[in-house]
Chains A and B, each alone.
Chain A
Amino acid sequence: QVQVVESGGGVVQPGRSLRLSCAASGFTFSSHGMHWVRQAPGKGLEWVAVISNDGSKNYYADSVKGRFTISRDNSKSTLYLQMNSLRVDDTAVYYCAKDRSGLGIDAFDMWGQGSMVTVSS
């Protein structure tokens, strides 16, 4: 069964850090680019970051550049999002999504159920 499952969300104070994980199964993880997308409460979808299949290329939304780092461990079929200097407006459900291509330049054909991150004092 092709699936991705996020974990690591929770409640954190502004300025602190949190790391999300996304465990993939049912497909060749090392052949696909992977993305993080978030949805703040009551808002639409916002793309966060992408990493290529071999981890050599990544891109970020301006809103998280310099604070968030996307990475992957192909030996564990796991994607990560390290979130530092968290702000209240980072509060959202974070989704992991599989790209149809290896370079991360196509549509997202598999999404996880999401992991809630709440940034609050």
Chain B
Amino acid sequence: AIWMTQSPSLLSASTGDRVTITCRLSEGISNYLAWYQKKPGKAPELLIYAASTLQSGVPSRFSGSGSGTDFSLTISRLQSEDFATYYCQQYYFFPRTFGQGTKVEIK
């Protein structure tokens, strides 16, 4: 199975900060990568698909970039509702795989 390394695993930040999460894969997947937000007790939500396409209804402060093996998710100005855990996921190969997750917490 393809390996995914997501970093950092924990990110401490303040409201208004710009934060970036990275996802590195062991094999190239073109742009078949998605980013999800997960809050405790809630369903995961799709933020970005095709590496850089914003899902309908997701605020424009979220953006994604990358291709091949290296990808990133950026939140331009962190809001209180953005404190959550974020996961990257590849959908090029079976089995589908997720990164280990990045918890964004209040500094």
Across the interface, do A45 and B91 meet the contact criterion of CB distance under 8 Å? no
Indicate the size class of the contact surface on chain A.
20 to 34
Q: Please classify the interface of chain B as helix (H, G, I), strand (E, B), loop, or mixed, using the class held by over half of its residues.
A: loop
User: Which of A35, A60, A100, A113 lies in contact with B42, CB distance below 8 A?
Assistant: A113
CB distance from B53 to the nearest CB of A (A): 9
Across the interface, do A50 and B46 meet the contact criterion of CB distance under 8 Å? no
Interface stretch of the complex, out of B16-24, B76-84, B96-104:
B96-104
Cα A61 to Cα B34 in complex, Å, equals 19
Cα A110 to Cα B55 in complex, Å, equals 11
Q: Which residues of A contact B27 (CB under 8 A)?
A: none
Across the interface, do A47 and B46 meet the contact criterion of CB distance under 8 Å? no
Cα A44 to Cα B44 in complex, Å, equals 11
Q: Is A89 an interface residue (CB 8 A)?
A: no
Q: Which residues of A contact B98 (CB under 8 A)?
A: 44-47
As a 0/1 sequence over residues 36 to 52 of chain B, the CB contacts with chain A under 8 angstroms (1 = contact) are 10100011111001100
Across the interface, do B45 and A44 meet the contact criterion of CB distance under 8 Å? no
Cα A100 to Cα B91 in complex, Å, equals 11
Chain B residues packing against A (C-beta within 8 Å): 1, 34, 36, 38, 42-46, 49-50, 55, 87, 89, 91, 94-101
Q: List 25 A-B contacts (CB under 8 A).
A: A35-B96, A37-B44, A44-B99, A44-B100, A44-B101, A45-B36, A45-B87, A45-B98, A45-B101, A46-B98, A47-B96, A47-B97, A50-B94, A59-B95, A60-B95, A62-B95, A106-B49, A106-B91, A107-B46, A108-B36, A108-B46, A108-B89, A109-B46, A113-B42, A113-B43
